[in-house]
């Protein structure tokens, strides 16, 4: 059953790549044909940028920049996977934001208290805990984990980060080991 599930996922991904390739060819001739990419990838790219940058404003700006850069570079697109190519652009935009503004601010206590009024405190507190845990990983490990959380496969992550699939597996393994070690003391007290 697991093998069938993996094969099905691989087939779905291949079908998506073929559909994307057809859209790329159209969009390279007619920029208006780029709209389906925007519709398909806006939410996942925004989620990735938000997880990496931590604020809605930075994530919105970064997401906009990703799509502007993708449209501008589309005539030169030659990659196998549009999705991986788009995440590569997102990764680079996020890294540019980090270089321009470091360190990134965490959510302020006043923001968390304001969210409690809306009933979102538990969700935001959990998100803040996750961000604090991820902040303890190396940049490379955090990139791998966040791309995995975005639904990327190992080979796609390797392509996005310019690493070998083996290096990505090693980074993921070390990241998960480190996260388990960080979580272990909490497991005992709960």
Domain boundaries, the chain: 1-105
Q: pLDDT band for position 178 (50/70/90)?
A: confident
Q: Does 2 score more than 50 pLDDT?
A: no
- Do 137 and 146 form a contact (C-beta atoms < 8 A)? no
Dihedral pair phi/psi, residue 75, rounded to 5°: -60, -25
Assign 3-state DSSP to the chain and report helix, strand, coil percentages, each to 5.
Answer: 85, 0, 15
Q: Decide: helix, strand or coil at residue 103.
A: coil
The top-level CATH class assigned to 1-105 is mainly alpha
The conformation of residue 145, written as its DSSP 8-state character, comes to H
Query: Which pair of tokens denotes residue 112?
Result: 């968390």
Q: Report the range of poorest mean pLDDT among 54-68, 108-122, 145-159, 172-186.
A: 108-122
pLDDT in tens, 97-153: 988 865 444 434 444 344 444 444 344 446 667 778 888 889 889 989 888 888 888
Whole-number pLDDT of residue 64 = 92
Is pTM beyond 0.95? Reply is no
Q: pLDDT band for position 76 (50/70/90)?
A: confident
């Amino acid at each position: 059953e697991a093998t069938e599930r993996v094969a099905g996922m691989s087939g779905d991904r291949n079908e998506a790549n073929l559909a994307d390739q057809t859209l790329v060819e159209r969009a390279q001739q007619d920029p208006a044909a780029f709209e389906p990419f925007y519709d398909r990838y806006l939410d996942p790219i925004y989620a990735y940028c938000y997880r990496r940058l931590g604020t809605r404003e930075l994530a919105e700006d970064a997401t906009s920049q990703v799509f502007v850069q993708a449209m501008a570079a589309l005539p030169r697109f030659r990659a196998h996977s549009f999705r991986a190519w788009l995440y590569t652009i997102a990764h680079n935009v996020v890294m540019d934001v980090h270089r321009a503004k470091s360190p990134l601010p965490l959510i302020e206590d006043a923001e968390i208290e304001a969210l409690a009024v809306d009933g979102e405190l538990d969700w935001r507190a959990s998100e803040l805990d996750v961000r604090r845990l991820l902040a303890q990983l190396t940049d490379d490990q955090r990139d791998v984990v966040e791309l995995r959380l975005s639904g990327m496969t190992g080979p796609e992550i390797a392509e996005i980060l310019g690493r070998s699939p083996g290096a990505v597996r090693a980074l993921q393994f070390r990241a998960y080991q480190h996260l388990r070690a960080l979580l272990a003391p909490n497991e005992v007290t709960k």
